[in-house]
Every structure is written in C-alpha cells, then in structure tokens.
C-alpha cells in the first residue's frame, strides 16, 4: 500500500521466520485453546490495540520487576527462569506456534504463575511496552540468517535494538547467546552502538554460561554439531 500500512493500521513489517511447523499434537492444541488467552500480557496486536496504548505491567505482575525473553523457542529457559525467580514477572514473545504450544505444556508441568505469553512478533510488543519498564532481556540462539544478504533480518539491527533500548530500564541487563561466530561479530558491533556496554572483562565471561543458565535444546544441537556457544552480557546505559 502507498501509505506503508496494513489495513488494520499496522506498519508493514516483513517477517521472515516460521509461524508453524509440524502438525500439532492434540495435547498441544488443547494447551493453545485452554491456556493461551489467560496468559496474554494484554492487547498487543494491532487489531485489538490500534492506538498502541501501553500495556499495564503493574496490573499484570504487580510491583515485580519484569523480564522479557525474545524468541523463547521451546520455552525451557523461560520456565526455568520463572521457577527460579518467583518474585519476577516474565513476558515471552515467540511467533512460532509450535514453540508456543511447547511452552504452554512446560508451564502446566511447572505450575509457574509469573509468566505472560505473546504468540507474535516482538516488535509489536515493543510498541506497547512503556519506556524503561523492563529490567532484563534475553535473546537466546536467535535465527542466524547466515547468508550475508540476510544479515539485515537479524535481531541485532537498528530496527530491533533501538526499541529494545527504549523499553529497558537504565542499568538493565541484556543477555545474548549464540553459536554463530558472525552473529557474535555483528552483536558486538551493533549492540554497543545502541546504548549498551559489553560487560566482559576476561575470556571466560563469554565462554562460560551464566550461573543460572539452563542449556536449551538449540544449544544441545549446536554442541552435537561442534559449534561453540558464546554468552554475551550487556548493560543498558
């Protein structure tokens, strides 16, 4: 369209990942039907929130700090962090519906009640998060987009990093895990340019996982295939 807008009023945003994979099991369909709506962080999408009214995080989590996981995959890390940090609220964003269904099953099993789930693009969540409202963010094994012409699709680009900086509190921690050397390069080039300090002081600071880390299925696949994980920690200026 000539005005660059979707009929709903949303800006046209290219999305290059997958929305759906293998056929969902009946139990996963049940999770989506019965649990997803109750775990909504509020009106995030353009159709239900065309004015982009900020969501009320205090209504969602009370006075707790709020963390954000960007692309939670199968949900292992998000549920682990929620269980280990009951005094924190965690919002997870993931457009891949199979991953959302997997997360919902893990939430049922763990009984965690301090989570919210947005089954969509994190950019829509950025639109409705208040300024300086997020105390920690995670980007764990994001889509690598290995071809050079696709590097602009990566998360570590201005389209994502500028709004991430806006919604993070000053001093908030941003963790990035990846097994792709060129993704490490681009992360270390781009993230500091957008208002973050890299906190590494010695090689072990990026070679060793964080003390509260749980290895995800994506990391296990990387290790089996001989790729080396990197754990990068940044602080929002």
Q: How does pLDDT run across 69-122, given as a tens digit for each residue?
A: 999 989 999 999 999 999 999 999 999 899 999 999 999 999 999 999 999 999
- Residue 18 CA, chain-centre distance (Å), reads 15
The residue with tokens 């099993």 is 109
| 33 among known catalytic residues | no
Catalytic pick from 143, 179, 204, 212?
143
Domain boundaries, the chain: 26-236
CATH number for the domain whose boundaries are 26-236: 3.40.50.150
Closest to 55 in 3D by CA, of 65, 68, 40? 40
CA 81 – CA 85 distance, rounded (Å): 6
Q: How does pLDDT run across 175-209, given as a tens digit for each residue?
A: 999 999 999 999 999 999 999 999 999 999 999 99
Q: What is the pTM for the complete model shown?
A: 0.90
CA 92 – CA 104 distance, rounded (Å): 11
* For range 136-144, the mean pLDDT: 96
């Amino acid at each position: 369209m000539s005005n660059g807008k979707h009929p709903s009023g949303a800006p046209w945003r290219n999305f290059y990942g997958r929305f759906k994979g293998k056929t969902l099991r009946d139990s996963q369909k049940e999770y989506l039907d019965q649990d997803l709506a109750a775990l909504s962080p509020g009106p995030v999408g353009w159709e239900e929130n065309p004015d982009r009214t900020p969501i009320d995080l205090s209504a969602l989590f009370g006075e707790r700090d709020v963390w954000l996981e960007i692309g939670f995959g199968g949900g292992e890390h998000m549920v682990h962090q929620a269980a280990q940090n009951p005094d924190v609220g965690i919002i997870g964003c993931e457009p891949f519906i199979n991953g959302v269904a997997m997360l919902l099953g893990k939430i049922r099993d763990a009984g965690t009640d301090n989570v919210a789930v947005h089954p969509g693009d994190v950019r829509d969540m950025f639109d409705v998060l208040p300024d300086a409202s997020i105390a920690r963010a995670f980007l764990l094994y994001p889509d690598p987009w290995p071809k050079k012409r696709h590097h602009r699709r990566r998360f570590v680009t201005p389209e994502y990093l500028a709004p991430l900086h806006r919604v993070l509190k000053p001093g908030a921690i941003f963790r990035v895990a990846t097994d792709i050397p060129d993704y490490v390069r681009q992360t270390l080039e781009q993230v500091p340019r957008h208002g973050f300090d890299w906190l590494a002081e010695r090689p072990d600071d990026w070679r060793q996982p964080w003390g509260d880390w749980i290895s995800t299925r994506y990391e296990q696949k990387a290790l089996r295939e001989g790729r080396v994980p990197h754990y990068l920690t940044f602080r929002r200026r």
